[in-house]
Amino acid sequence: MAGQSRSSNTLVVPQANAALQQLKYEAAQELGIQIPADGYYGNFATRDAGSLGGYITRKLVQIAEQQISGQSQMR
């Protein structure tokens, strides 16, 4: 995309936002991490942010793998 800037925070499917937010809160609860109630992450520990991001990424990969394997079995 020459000349175009795309934020890495832009969702390809905006309707997925609610599901991603739910996943974030579920992951935080499982890891024992407190999400800031005011939405400000400036005081959020880097270690917690990394743990949460890594957990969410692993979960999303797992979901994608399940969907791919489910689709390949149907063919």
Whether residue 22 lies inside any domain: the answer is no
Whether residue 5 lies inside any domain: the answer is no
Whether residue 16 lies inside any domain: the answer is no
Whether residue 72 lies inside any domain: the answer is yes
How many domains, the chain? 1
Whether residue 74 lies inside any domain: the answer is yes
Whether residue 59 lies inside any domain: the answer is yes
Whole-model pTM above 0.85? no
pLDDT of 40 strictly over 70: yes
Phi-psi category of 8—alpha, beta or left, where left has phi over 0 and alpha has psi -120 to 50?
Answer: alpha
Q: Count other Cβ atoms within 10 Å, centred on residue 56.
A: 16
Whether residue 8 lies inside any domain: the answer is no
Whether residue 31 lies inside any domain: the answer is no
The pLDDT score that the predictor gives to residue 1 is 44
* Residue 60: domain span: 46-75
User: For residue 18, what are the CA distances in angstroms to 13, 33, 42, 46, 54?
Assistant: 11, 19, 22, 24, 19
Residue 20, helix vs strand vs coil: helix
| 6-22: average pLDDT | 80
8 A C-beta contact, residue 53 and residue 63: no
